[in-house]
Amino acid sequence: MTDLRIADCRITPIAFYDPPLLNNGGCHQPFALRSVIEVETEDGVIGLGESYGTRSLIDAVAALAPDLRGMAVTDLNGLWARARTRVQGGMPGYTGDERLLPRVVSAVEVAMWDALGKATGQRVVDLLGGQVRETVPFSAYLFYKFAGHAGQPADDWGEVLSPERLVDEARRFIETHGFRAIKLKAGILPPEEEVAGLEALRAAFPEAPLRIDPNGGWHVHTALDLLPRLEGLVEYLEDPTVGIDGNAVIQARTDVPLATNMYVVAQSHLPPNMAQDAFRVILSDHHYWGGLKASRDLAEICRIWGLGLSMHSNSHLGISLAAMTHLAAATPNLTYDCDTHYPWQVDEVVEGGRFEFRDGSLSVPEGPGLGVTLDRDALARLHQNYLDCGYTHRDDESEMQKHQPGWRFQRPRY
Ligand SMILES: O=C([O-])[C@@H](O)[C@@H](O)[C@H](O)[C@@H](O)C(=O)[O-]
Ligand SMILES: [Mg+2]
């Protein structure tokens, strides 16, 4: 009989190279921080998870780890109960951070699913309810960017700050990976220029579903002024302005669905969102919704209430990509192509090297669990990067100030 009890849980912070990508919050730092979680059963089966690399998350998972010993990897209720005690009660400073608890649960929960799958010879997609699509389509995630990090030479993408260069970036993404849909990270340049960028993408790729995401960087009146240009151009408009209230004003004036990964990020945000009809598409993200089970629950809520469902990403490596692919393959109403930052990354932490997209899509990894195993040499190297990089949380604003002294974070900006 397989022993599914947890013997040990470990979290290792890592850092991997990230290009100088721009968003409303500033510029990506030279290293993106992340963490690798290992849940080991009494039988020595190791389940993997990947999550954020911020200090608060790492400390909270490390503090929770001893409480998990002896708990079955199937006991998701037990995980939530233990995490609630540890994250909200036992650690001064974390109380009230409603976003930390589901993040901590997610980090461990994915590794529990992987351990269960590996211990019982089943794929996570099957444990989540069964595969409903052969392959999972992802979108080309375009960013404006500087040529290189401050004080460093240009990377091979070069500077992207104009519609022409944006089209070049998209072409490289599409030629290399075959993506169909295109998402533009906005909220950086004056909005008219960013919409001109979208129009250039439409001219170059007439069939591509387009999206734009200013991360709340526009005022309501700015978004309203731009609606006539956006209608008929985008499949959805992601977080144009701040908050449920502000976005509801915009949604009331257009048939273009508004989408969010910023203002509906927990189940408690769903009722006010429904009451105000602010966002009609939710970008799920298992890393902060409380894991794979909670993301399946979210999908059901969206189905019942007629909300669209897409998938959000942050800078990540292959364990997260595998988890996103299993989840997406098991979610019938996930009808939009998923976001991924993966093509911007060059490192990997799983054995066998980097994933390859075919026609913009991934097949569900073969093998039990998530279908990936840890490359321990890579883990050691990326952990050393973390120790050497000199930071323990993401700070896009300070990074931006190295390029543009005096730059200040502002939301909305335009
Ligand atoms: O990586 C970035 O700069 C993005 O802006 C990311 O932080 C967002 O969380 C995200 O991709 C989004 O869709 O808002
Ligand atoms: Mg977004």
| Nearest atom (ligand 1) to Cα of 313 | 11
Residue 269 CA to ligand 2 center (angstroms) comes to 16
pLDDT (0 to 100) of residue 87: 85
- What is the mean predicted confidence (pLDDT) over 18-44? 98
Measured CA distances, 174 to 120, 139, 218, 343, 362 (Å): 38, 9, 28, 11, 14
Checking if the pLDDT of 221 tops 70, the result is yes
Q: Is the pLDDT of residue 329 over 70?
A: yes
pLDDT at 91 over 80: no
Residue 94 pLDDT greater than 50, yes or no: no
**What is the number of the ligand closest to the CA of 237?**
2
pLDDT band at 97 (very low <50, low <70, confident <90, very high): low
**How crowded is residue 388: how many other Cβ atoms within 10 Å of its Cβ?**
9
* Ligand 1 site-directed mutation target among 213, 239, 258, 282, most atoms within 8 Å of CB: 213
The residue contributing the CA closest to ligand 1 atom 8 is 314
| Farthest-apart Cα atoms in the chain, separation | 65
Residues 146-163 pLDDT 10s: 999 999 999 999 999 999
Pocket of ligand 1 contains residue 265 by CB under 6 Å: no
What is the distance between the alpha carbons of residues 63 and 66, in angstroms, rounded to a whole number? Answer: 7
Q: Determine the Cα–Cα distance for residues 36 and 10; give it in Å rounded to an integer.
A: 8
pTM: 0.97
Mean per-residue pLDDT, 186-215: 98
Residues around ligand 2, an ion, CB closer than 5 A: 213, 238, 261
Beta strands at 26-27 and 236-238: parallel, antiparallel or unpaired:
unpaired
What is the mean pLDDT of the segment spanning 353-378? 98
Cα of 262 from ligand 1 centre, angstroms:
9
Do 133 and 363 form a contact (C-beta atoms < 8 A)?
no
Does 211 sit in the ligand 1 pocket, CB within 6 Å?
no
Please give the CATH topology (third level) of the domain spanning 6-122+375-388.
Enolase-like; domain 1 (3.30.390)
Residue 391 has pLDDT above 70, yes or no: yes
Provide the ipTM.
0.94
Atom 3 (ligand 1): residue with closest C-alpha? 23
Does residue 350 surpass a pLDDT of 60? yes
User: pLDDT above 70 covers what percent of the chain?
Assistant: 97
Residue 349, both tokens: 């932490």
| Residue extents of the structural domains in the chain | 6-122+375-388, 127-363
Q: What is the mean pLDDT of the chain?
A: 96
User: Span 271-284, mean pLDDT?
Assistant: 98
Banded pLDDT at 1 (limits 50, 70, 90): confident
Distance from the alpha carbon of residue 341 to the mean position of ligand 1, in angstroms: 9
For 278-414, where are the alpha helices, taking DSSP H only?
286-289, 292-305, 318-329, 376-389, 396-403
CA nearest ligand 1 atom 1, residue: 314
Q: What are phi and psi of 183, to 5 degrees?
A: -110, 135
**285 within ligand 1 shell (Cβ under 6 A):** no
Confidence of residue 263 (pLDDT cuts 50, 70, 90): very high
**Interior CA angle at 138 toward 207 and 162, to 5°?**
60
Q: Residue range 10-21: average pLDDT?
A: 98
185 lines ligand 1 (CB under 6 A): yes
Task: State whether the beta carbon of 312 lies less than 6 angstroms from ligand 1.
Answer: yes
Q: Which of 295, 309, 344 is nearest to 236 (CA)?
A: 309
CB-based contact 107:305 (threshold 8 Å): no
Q: Is 238 helix (H, G, I), strand (E, B) or coil?
A: strand
Mean pLDDT of 310-324: 98
pLDDT at 98: 63
Nearest atom of ligand 1 to the alpha carbon of 24: 5
Percent of the chain residues topping a pLDDT of 90 = 95
pLDDT, position 99: 83
Q: Could you tell me the pLDDT band of residue 93, with boundaries at 50, 70 and 90? A: very low
User: Looking at residue 333, what is its pLDDT?
Assistant: 98
Quick check: 195 and 229 in contact, CB under 8 A? yes
Confidence category of residue 95, pLDDT binned at 50, 70, 90: very low
Averaged pLDDT for residues 40-53: 98
Rounded distance from Cα 395 to ligand 1 centre (Å): 13
By annotation, the residues acting in catalysis are 185, 312
Mean pLDDT to the nearest integer, 298-323: 98
On whether the CB atoms of residues 205 and 226 are closer than 8 A, the answer is no
Distance separating alpha carbons of residues 191 and 215, to the nearest angstrom: 12
For the Cβ of 213 lying below 6 angstroms from any atom of ligand 1, the answer is yes
> Which amino acid belongs to residue 400?
M
Which of 99, 215, 285 gets mutated to test ligand 1 (max ligand atoms within 8 A of its CB)? Answer: 215
Average pLDDT over residues 43-61: 96
Task: Tell how far the Cα of 155 is from the centroid of ligand 1, in angstroms.
Answer: 21
**CA–centroid distance, residue 214 to ligand 1 (Å):** 9
- Superfamily of domain 127-363 in the CATH hierarchy: Enolase-like C-terminal domain (3.20.20.120)
Residues contacting residue 157 through CB under 8 Å, at least 6 positions apart? 19, 145, 169, 172
Please answer whether residues 175 and 183 qualify as being in contact, where contact means their C-beta atoms are separated by less than 8 angstroms. Answer: no
What is the model's pLDDT at position 52? 96
170-184 confidence digits (pLDDT tens): 999 999 999 999 999
CA dist 396 and 402 (Å) reads 10
pLDDT band at residue 123 under the 50/70/90 scheme: very high
